[in-house]
Structure 1
Amino acid sequence: MSERILVIEDEDRIARLLQLELAHEGYEVAIEKTGRQGLKTGLSEAWDVILLDIMLPELNGIEVLRRFRNTNQTTPIIIITARDSIPDKVNGLDQGANDYVTKPFEIEEVLARIRSCIRLAKHIHEQNMEPSPKTLKVNSLVVKHRSHEVFREGKRIILTPREFDLLVYLMENWNLVVTREQIIQHVWGYNFTGDTNVVDVYIRYLRKKIDYDFDTHLIQTIRGIGYSMRESAK
């Protein structure tokens, strides 16, 4: 069965290009040209990947992303945007996007990022089909893998999908040092071609949520190498 991709893009030329190229690759493709209709279609049907423009009529892409993630935390979303500043990219990722592509883009890059998102989604689905729940515990931090719930000292902590994957990877490597490159490969995927500085950005997000308000800090910076999860007093 062909993977289904929803393209939410109001520029006719780009929408048509994506439709033709994706169909040529064997994907089933649907196009929506407004943010409001794109959100409605995205939530009403099952999609393997959503390609989402930022500058959309009726409802901008970031608001579409925010509302979609309130209901659906799992469907991969790739932002397509002409805004190439770091704050714009980080904002999109922080709202729950899985990846981003800047305009103008090469179609080969878009296809590679789609394949990466689909592989990762399938991997997460297979993990969630395990017969017994997977729970990770470090100090007072508890992660329930199948339900994507995170608690510290009994307080529930809300993470974006990318933050959750990063936290799980660090917890699975408790007391070990992992490099930025290793984190990129395991959390973003082997086909990720962005700047490894995105790891530092997400580590900062994660620290704000699971470390800063507690007496024991768990995420440690290993200067010149990467990061490690281990106990350290304030």
Structure 2
Amino acid sequence: MRVLIVEDEARLAEDLRRTLTAQNYVVTLSRDGEDGWFRGDSEDFDLIILDLGLPRMDGFSVLKRWRDSGRGMPVLILTARDSWRDKVDGIDFGADDYLTKPFRMEELLARVRALLRRAVGHSSPILTNGLIEIDTRLRTVTHDGSPVSVTPLEYRLLAYLLHHPGKVFSPVEISAHIYEEDLDRDSNAVEVVIARLRRKLGGGVIENRRGQGYFISAEAAR
């Protein structure tokens, strides 16, 4: 899952990047409101963490411009402001959740997981597809109740498809959500990862629609 962090405080931004990366999220950092708005408006993110007190464009303005242009990705606001009016304004401008600084990373991660689930209609942190089960809290995969050892890259790909059952993604779209931006990769890298997952989980879990891409059936996933 791909996350954009728009935060100008360098230490906090790096702490967030490191924490989310360790949880198998693909993270992009932006240090000011104008750049954050442009990235959120022109790129595809599964979730955005947005500070309010940003240089060049404040967080409220960034959020309002995203929503006015029809961008519907979940947005979690971070702010040092603790007044009820700021919280109301954030929600009214289109924020999905609100976290006041200072906060514990465990709480932020729980809110991130919940927002990602709600965005695609999942209520449980456990994602299932037939005999396949992913625990998004522990980042574990099981097949028919038995644990399956997967690499972080394999986990990210499987979790991304399970979060969007029935939706077909091209290799380019999948690549954007499972690889870091500056990581070089072969043109068939996604196909290689899918082949490894099929060997571990069975060939019928990840399906292919010729000329379009890969998907996991919506009928089996829940």
TM bucket normalised to smaller: 0.5 to 0.7
**Whole-angstrom CA distance in 2 between matches of 1:127 and 1:47:** 17
2:37 counterpart of 1:39: yes
Aligned to 2:67: 69
Contact 2:80/2:100 (<8 A) preserved: yes
Describe how 1:49-60 pairs up with structure 2 within 5 A: 49-60=47-58
Q: Which has the higher strand share?
A: 1
Contact 2:41/2:71 (<8 A) preserved: no
2:116 counterpart of 1:118: yes
Q: CA deviation at 1:72?
A: 3.0
**Whole-angstrom CA distance in 1 between matches of 2:25 and 2:166:** 25
Q: Count residues with an aligned counterpart.
A: 127
Task: Kindly indicate whether structure 1 or structure 2 has the higher relative contact order, using CA contacts under 8 Å at least 6 residues apart.
Answer: 2
2:56 counterpart of 1:19: no
Aligned to 2:89: 91
Compared CA separation, residues 104 and 73, structure 1 to 2 (3 A): same
Q: CA deviation at 1:74?
A: 1.9
SS at match of 1:50: strand
Deviations 1:37-87 (A, max 9, x none): 000011111001100000000000000000011123420000000001111
Amino acid at match of 2:35: Q
Deviations 1:76-134 (A, max 9, x none): 000000001111101000000000110001001110110011001111897998xxxxx
Q: TM-score, normalised to structure 1's length?
A: 0.52
Q: Which of 89, 99, 103 is the matching residue for 1:105?
A: 103
**Whole-angstrom CA distance in 2 between matches of 1:114 and 1:102:** 14
2:28 counterpart of 1:30: yes
**Whole-angstrom CA distance in 1 between matches of 2:70 and 2:120:** 16
SS at match of 2:95: coil
**Whole-angstrom CA distance in 2 between matches of 1:127 and 1:14:** 34
State the identity %. Answer: 44
Contact 1:74/1:121 (<8 A) preserved: no
Q: TM-score, normalised to structure 2's length?
A: 0.55
Compared CA separation, residues 42 and 73, structure 1 to 2 (3 A): closer
Contact 1:50/1:75 (<8 A) preserved: yes
Describe how 1:145-156 pairs up with structure 2 within 5 A: none
Unmatched 5+ stretches in structure 1: 130-234
